[in-house]
Amino acid sequence: MKAFIALLLALSLPFAAHAQEEKKEEEGEKAAPKVMYVGIIPALVGNYSSGMKMKFYKADIALKVTGSEAEEKVKYHEPLIRNQLVQLFSQQTDETLGSMDAKEKLRQEALKQVQQVLEQEEGKPYVEDLLFNNLILQ
């Protein structure tokens, strides 16, 4: 019987060590802030000028943040962020939205303006990147 218990303990030791390693990895993950994407919901919808004809856009946007504090700050200031982005999009033309390079410049300008809003309101930019999940122009 003693031999059986000793054998059972010997076989269970590797599993116990593996469980301890997993627990340490989970604790390490908890200590490191997580990257999250905060969606601007609902999507931005509006119009922009193209000479004599009005055109429309729909922009589905996500903001990349790290940590729950940044997520909370972005969500709290979402109305101000949304307003800034709507103003930026409404100033666009066919030339500023016509190519992939132009859309990338718009994305970078939108990121810069979102960071400026958060810098003014909170003292930190909080947002690391801005992504267009979908950008429809009509």
Per-residue pLDDT 10s for the chain (138 aa) are: 666 565 445 566 555 555 566 665 556 556 688 999 999 999 999 998 877 888 999 999 999 999 999 999 999 999 999 999 999 999 998 888 889 999 999 999 999 999 999 999 999 999 999 999 999 998
- Quote the pTM value: 0.74
**CA 33 and chain centroid, separation:** 13
Rg (CA), the chain: 24
Local structure of residue 90 (DSSP, 8 states): H
Other CB atoms closer than 10 Å to residue 114's CB: what's the count? 26
For residues 129 and 111, is the Cβ–Cβ distance under 8 A? yes
**CA 65 and chain centroid, separation:** 5
